[in-house]
Amino acid sequence: MGTRTETETETGAGPGTGSENERDDTAVDAPDADATQPEPEPEPEPEPEQDADGAGAGAEESSGVGQGAAAVVSGAFGLVSLTGSWLGTVAAARETLVGQLETAADADVATQVKEVYGDAWNTSALWGGLFALTALIVGVVVLAGPAFARPGRTARAPWITSVAWAGVTLGVVGLLLAVLTYTGVLLGLPATG
């Protein structure tokens, strides 16, 4: 019952030597208990939070910037179509100058009014109509965008839809006013005789 020394264990000498105490040189020492435990699996990465529409938050960030910018452009172009633009003003002034240069001094009043003022008004209406049509097209593209997007990329902020609808509405009103002005139904040339 005594303790064996290291020498006795290696040589097999000492009390109680038998087959259970013999050392097998070919046997491999058993690994530590900690080494036999399997390594814990890494935790899976958390999935992005789901919105009410079922799309991830990352999808909203990636698609919201372009849609928001296009919606703002649509609204701005719709507003410009109603209030006038620098480009339309310059084009109308140029048309007035061309009308003055091409109209003979002895032309009747109706011809002078049409050439000097009428063409300028039509040019302003034309540029307003172009801005309105652009606002309308961009707004419709923004509103129809989720229908053509990849699944899971349809989430967007509510303000984008609101601004796009504002752009479409302003575009329709601006286009209607431009057509009515160009045809002379609204703010036509005054009668000269």
pLDDT in tens, 95-120: 888 888 887 777 777 787 888 888 88
Q: How much is the mean pLDDT over the chain? A: 75
List all residues 6 or more positions away from 165 whose beta carbon is below 8 Å from its beta carbon. 139, 143
Q: How many CB atoms lie within 10 A of CB 175?
A: 21
pLDDT score at 156: 73
pLDDT score at 95: 87
Pick the more confident residue, 8 or 133.
Answer: 133
When pLDDT is averaged across residues 137-152 and rounded to a whole number, the result is 80
Confidence category of residue 184, pLDDT binned at 50, 70, 90 = confident
Q: Tell me the pLDDT tens digit for each residue of 56-98.
A: 444 444 557 888 899 999 999 999 998 988 888 898 888 888 8
Q: Return the closest-CA partner of residue 122 out of 69, 65, 180.
A: 180
pTM assigned to the model: 0.60
Length of the chain as a residue count: 193
SS3 for 150? coil
